[in-house]
Amino acid sequence: NAGVMQNPRHLVRRRGQEARLRCSPMKGHSHVYWYRQLPEEGLKFMVYLQKENIIDESGMPKERFSAEFPKEGPSILRIQQVVRGDSAAYFCASSPLPNYGYTFGSGTRLTVV
């Protein structure tokens, strides 16, 4: 069991470019959660998805951010027209049941220059 796989581990984007972050959940897990972490801070919830459905996106910024979890393939967190303030570590977690038994990936560290 490879655990939750996130890629890339590090991503550098120039302001105005798009960032795509990928998350492959653990085998058998159909619930995926994205969190953002600023340096020296806790993890802030962004979005909760189940296969092909967004369950809770209350933590997602209204503009430029979107997430999907297609029937086949990884979950994708997409940030359009990145700005310096988007620089952070983005963590994905998956679980076999809703909101219980999270396993986190190692994160993607996004740097916007």
Residues engaged in binding another protein (CB under 8 A): 4, 33, 35, 40-45, 48, 56, 59, 91, 93, 97-100, 102-107
Place of tokens 């953002």: 36
Dump the DSSP string for 15-27. Answer: TT--EEEEEEPPT
* Minimum CB–partner distance for residue 81 and another protein (Å): 26
Q: Measured from the CB atom, is 33 or 65 closer to another protein?
A: 33
* Minimum CB–partner distance for residue 80 and another protein (Å): 24
CA–CA dist 43, 100 (Å, integer): 16
The DSSP output letter for 26 is P
* Minimum CB–partner distance for residue 5 and another protein (Å): 11
